[in-house]
């Protein structure tokens, strides 16, 4: 235990001694910024500002194309949670989840994760607040959050940006991948964080 009058003196460390990787990344970022702001390269190549402007213009057109799908997905996720349907479905699937080894407390996270990343983050935060970050349920929720994807959001964004109207087998395949991710998260949480 430190005495009350003791003061902590931080050692002097030059930033380039911390890690050569930090110096490399800092140099690369500096060159990237300088390159993007250079209006014309010496050999006549177009500068990064023109490319940045063209990319921003294309990005705005993509946003306008996918905006309706995003509004629909986010509205559906909010309605699903606010209507009580998520609570009813959670109560319905809890015994099945317990049977396959997934903590039933993570059911809200599993239901909202394919729809909304922010909703899944809120569900995981609620689980971790209620059960603790070091509990099995909290750790399992964190692993689930990191090992699955917001399926419908990603499909809406990428398919909308590419102009694809029919998703064919994408949705069932992605939902199966999410289910496998949830099962694997529970399994590996049980293996790596026993007790």
Which phi and psi angles does 96 have, rounded to 5°? -65, -40
In a domain, 2, yes or no: no
DSSP letter for 40, please. B
Name the residue range of residue 94's domain. 61-192
Q: What is residue 41's predicted lDDT score, i.e. its pLDDT?
A: 56
Q: Is residue 13 part of a domain?
A: no
Number of domains in the chain: 1
Name, in order, each residue with C-beta under 8 angstroms of 113's C-beta and a sequence gap of 6 or more.
119, 120, 123, 144, 145, 148, 149, 150, 178
Q: What confidence score (pLDDT) does residue 187 get? A: 93
Residues 6+ apart with CB under 8 A from 24: none
The whole-number pLDDT of residue 66 equals 78
- Which residues does residue 1 pair with via DSSP β-bridges, in sequence order? none
pLDDT in tens for each of the 195 residues of the chain? 555 666 767 667 665 566 777 778 888 888 888 877 766 655 545 556 677 677 888 888 878 887 887 788 778 878 888 898 888 988 899 999 989 989 999 999 998 898 888 888 988 999 999 999 999 999 999 999 999 988 988 888 888 888 888 888 999 999 999 999 999 999 999 999 876
Q: Is residue 88 part of a domain?
A: yes
pTM of the entire predicted model:
0.63
Residue 32 lies in a domain: no
Please indicate, yes or no, if residue 84 is contained in any of the structural domains.
Answer: yes
Give the pLDDT confidence score for residue 10 in this predicted structure: 67
**Half-sphere exposure (CA, 13 Å, Cβ side) for 67?**
7
Q: Is 168 left (phi over 0), alpha (psi -120 to 50) or beta?
A: left
Nearest to 77 by CA among 130, 102, 114: 114
């Amino acid at each position: 235990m430190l005495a009350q009058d003791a003061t902590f003196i931080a050692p002097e460390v030059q930033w380039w001694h911390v890690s050569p990787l930090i110096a490399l990344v800092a140099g690369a970022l500096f060159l990237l910024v300088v390159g993007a702001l250079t209006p014309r390269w010496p050999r006549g190549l177009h500068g990064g500002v023109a490319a940045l402007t063209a990319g921003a213009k294309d990005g705005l057109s993509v946003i306008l194309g996918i905006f309706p799908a995003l509004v629909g997905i986010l509205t559906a996720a909010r309605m699903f949670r606010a209507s009580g349907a998520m609570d009813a479905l959670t109560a319905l699937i809890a015994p099945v989840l317990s049977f396959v080894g997934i903590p039933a407390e993570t059911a809200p996270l599993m239901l909202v994760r394919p729809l909304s990343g922010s909703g899944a983050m809120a569900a995981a935060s609620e689980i971790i607040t209620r059960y603790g970050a070091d509990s099995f349920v909290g750790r399992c929720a964190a692993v689930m959050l990191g090992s699955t994807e917001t399926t419908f959001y990603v499909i809406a964004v990428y398919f909308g940006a590419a102009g694809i109207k029919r998703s064919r087998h994408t949705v069932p395949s992605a939902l199966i991948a999410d289910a496998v991710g949830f099962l694997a998260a529970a399994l590996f949480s049980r293996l790596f964080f026993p007790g």
